[in-house]
Structure 1
Amino acid sequence: MTAMDPGVPTYGGLSPDTGKAPAKIAGMFDAIAGRYDLLNHLLSGGQDLYWRWRAVRRLRLTGTERVLDLCTGTCDVARTMVRRRLARRVLGIDFSAEMLKVGQRKLRGEGRAGVIPLVRGDAMRLPAASGSMDAVTIAFGIRNVQDASVALAEVARVLKPGGRLAILEFSTPQQPAVRAAYLWYFRNVLPRLGGLVSRHGEAYAYLPASVESFTPPAQFVAQLEAAGLTQCEAVPLTFGVVYLYVARRAA
């Protein structure tokens, strides 16, 4: 099939490469880092704030924990945990240097750089000791990892026994009317608007395409279990537009 074949979806008229080579993905996020937060809020209708808070709340943090925020991006999840005094220290890891720079500017402005250290690193080779984290969060980043199963095994490695994991990721709704509206928005409005604001049309064509090609919820739960995690759940949010995946490392 070709991109012009009616059986192949396009995104704002583009047929993006959904390959997950780390250098390609890091470069793409580097290019859109300056407008990333604005577009997150705009394209989600502000729902991204609600989704992140739901994920943090499911960790049941007490304020004493050490947390890893993997694929931290511009640090919104990490900042939420520290601002609400739900974690003692949060380590933010991402492989996009420019996203981390944006996050670092936020932290310096808030005086929180000391409690949220940022490290450029690969989700498949985490720069953290085994059993060193009470909890791990990943917000809208796992689908961009070249091999999610390797990353999940790394997450299980760095979690303490009994430690909790919360992952947010986009999905495709299954209810027919919602699915039809969502796909129309994802394939037509989001890539064009995102490309216009960010001036990087390829990135905002890749993002919705990567969602449609990502592992379905039931299969992703199986991946969590295969990584050695327990009590795995997939919780649909906003009509199944987003799923919150929660799990624990066995005590």
Structure 2
Amino acid sequence: MTSEIDIYDPDYVRDIFDRCSDKYIAFSTICSLGFTEIWRRQCAEMLELSSGDLKGYDLMAGTGEVWPHLLKQYPNIQSICAVDISPGMHKRALSRLHEMRAHKISFIEDNVLASELPASSSDFVVSTFGLKTFNHEQHAKLAELVSHVLKPGGRFAFIEASDPKGWWFRWLYLFHLKTVLPLVEKTLLRGAQDFSMIGRYSTNFGNAAGFATLLEQCGLEVSYRKFFFGCASGVCGSKPR
């Protein structure tokens, strides 16, 4: 049973997203009522990148939906290195690449927390909807990695679906996550309750405030933000020069 499994084990997470990969884009966009695309755009905006030739990482890159937002907003980005543990998501991302942007994107298929990314190797780090699949200890390692790979003055931005505690309509949001999404999966996708895990990960995650604290403890300058009454939360900031 799921309760007996460590849902944060990298192999478990990889297998979930491998199985979800073919339908992930359509499912996440439709069942979030389009908010995932809005939040990805807002995450790109939070980077507030400067001029000059830039290169950076997209961590837990999934199928690469944030790339169009990044490259449209910051045409001076020269390269994006996408890191993801799921071969299925990796393959799906490859199939989505347009010829005009393929030369700007490279891939590392790896558990980001076990990867050996070089120190001070990036001008920016971005990640959309990957935080929820980590527990507190993994978040601490991720915060250290962000500090490790950023150049002095480098920028970062993360965004994640969150539990909007205190919002009057929180019950409706949780009903959507925990009841509507599994029902859609069961009736239309005939899945193995993989997409329904998104609701469990999101409510377990809470919000990005704890991750913001971990980033600060690594010496980074951090701003915490909430979106749409707390249904998503994010962090952004920079590494001091």
Paired with 2:76 and 2:85, the residues of 1 have a C-alpha distance of: 25
2:94 alignment partner in structure 1: 104
Are residues 15 and 200 of structure 1, via their aligned partners in 2, closer, same or farther at CA, if it must alter by over 3 Å? farther
Secondary structure of 1:130's partner? coil
Find the aligned partners of 1:31 and 1:66 in 2 and give their Cα distance.
Answer: 31
What's the counterpart of residue 122 of structure 1?
A: 111
Shift in Å, 1:15: 6.7
**Distance in 1 between the 2:207 and 2:34 partners?**
24
Specify whether residues 196 and 66 from structure 1 end up closer, same or farther in structure 2 by C-alpha distance, changes over 3 A only: farther
Q: Distance in 1 between matches of 2:85 and 2:203?
A: 23
Range with bigger deviation, 111-120 or 150-159: 111-120
**Structure 2 CA distance, aligned partners of 1:20 and 1:144?**
6
User: What letter corresponds to residue 169 of structure 2 in structure 1?
Assistant: V
- What is the one-letter code of the residue matched to 2:41? W
Read off the aligned partner of 1:128 and give its amino acid letter.
L
Decide whether the 8 Å contact of 2:162 with 2:233 is kept in 1: yes
Give the superposed CA RMSD. 2.1
**Aligned pairs (5 A) from 1:185-224:** 185-224=176-215
Structure 1 182/86 Cα, relative in aligned 2: closer, same or farther at 3 Å? Answer: farther
Residue among 23, 38, 47 paired with 1:59: 47
Q: C-alpha displacement at 1:161, in angstroms?
A: 0.8
CA distance in 2, matches of 1:149, 1:195: 35
Deviations 1:149-185 (A, max 9, x none): 1112111100001111100111111234221111111
What SS class does the counterpart of residue 12 from structure 2 fall into?
Answer: helix
1:42 is displaced (CA, Å) by 0.4
Q: Distance in 1 between matches of 2:25 and 2:188?
A: 11
Unaligned stretches of 5+ in structure 2? none
Tell me which residue corresponds to 1:161: 152
**Structure 1 residues 97 and 197: alpha-carbon distance in aligned structure 2, compared to 1, 3 A threshold:** farther
Give the counterpart letter for 1:174 in structure 2.
Answer: K
- Structure 1 regions of 5+ residues with no counterpart? 4-13
- Contact between 2:57 and 2:125, CA under 8 Å: does it hold in 1? yes
Contact 2:160 2:208 survives alignment (8 Å): no
> CA offsets, 1:46-67, max 9 Å, x none?
1111111111112122362102
SS of 1:244's equivalent?
Answer: strand
